[in-house]
Structure 1
């Protein structure tokens, strides 16, 4: 499992699930983050270059990978590598949904660039956390079954 960790709000939930399933996880970030001292948890600190963590995760992704990220463009790259991708809200990114997500992202960027005031994402909630736990547990179960 690979985690885009710099702004990931569900790292503690990830640890609980991977420990229960005995699945290794790589916590990838641009800066040194505190991670549990556990043999299944590996901290990967990449350079501080633009998209360095994204590049590392995309290159490490394959059909056996589960990736956790909120970054739509990284999700697209990982899907193209064959990985299963999950947002911290528990919403899966799929090959069927990623095009719409990319288009929406582009529209919102254009609106912001034009000076329009657009709201950001809703605050992260307990429901998001619960949905993520269920989705990650199901995803890892599917990957383990092959």
Structure 2
């Protein structure tokens, strides 16, 4: 098991590294060349700025049983297709039960944006977001290390 992070805009990299280090789980942070990231624990994989380059590099390195941290529903869907686990920066698990609906909502929002409509506003990140992520991520890591396949 390893943890792969879509790290370009990931606000919880420090939480991921701390928990991974405590539990001796390897981490790969994938970024594009417009970002700089250093770590004394994680492997940093820097790829081109080409569209989807980070997503492709991350998924190409994902195996069954890995954990993928991403905000991107498409990346989460591909991770699930590889029998990996996917979680977002707020602690929401992506599952076979919710990914189709999330992908459909993304499609509708994209159509609305193309038509010139505003679909959402970005909310400021809160301490509660970090706490929710930390709790859910730790629970997932512990359950997988113990051999249980589903987070509660």
Q: Check conservation: 1:3, 1:67, Cα contact below 8 A.
A: yes
Pairing 1:44–2:45 present: yes
| Pairwise CA distance, 1:121 | 3.8
Q: Distance in 2 between matches of 1:140 and 1:35?
A: 23
Q: How far is the alpha carbon of 1:27 from its aligned partner?
A: 0.6
The match for 2:20 is: 18
How far did 1:47 drift?
A: 2.0
Q: How many residues align?
A: 144
| Match in the other structure for 1:33 | 36
Q: Distance in 2 between matches of 1:103 and 1:111?
A: 12
Q: Unpaired runs of 5+ in structure 2?
A: 148-152
CA RMSD of aligned residues (A): 1.2
Matches of 2:134 and 2:67, distance apart in 1: 14
Partner of 1:98: 99
Stretches of structure 1 lacking an aligned partner (at least 5 in a row): none
Partner Cα distance (2:103, 2:122) in 1: 15
Structure 1 runs, 4 residues or longer, greater than 4 Å off: none
Task: Using the TM superposition, give the Cα deviation of residue 142 of structure 1 relative to its aligned residue in structure 2, in angstroms.
Answer: 1.4
Corresponding residue SS for 1:77: helix
Q: What CA distance in whole angstroms lies between the structure 2 residues aligned with 1:58 and 1:120?
A: 28
2:58 aligned counterpart, secondary structure: helix
| Mapped contact 1:61–1:82 kept (Cα < 8 A) | no
TM-score, L = length of structure 1: 0.93
Give the corresponding residue for 1:145. 146
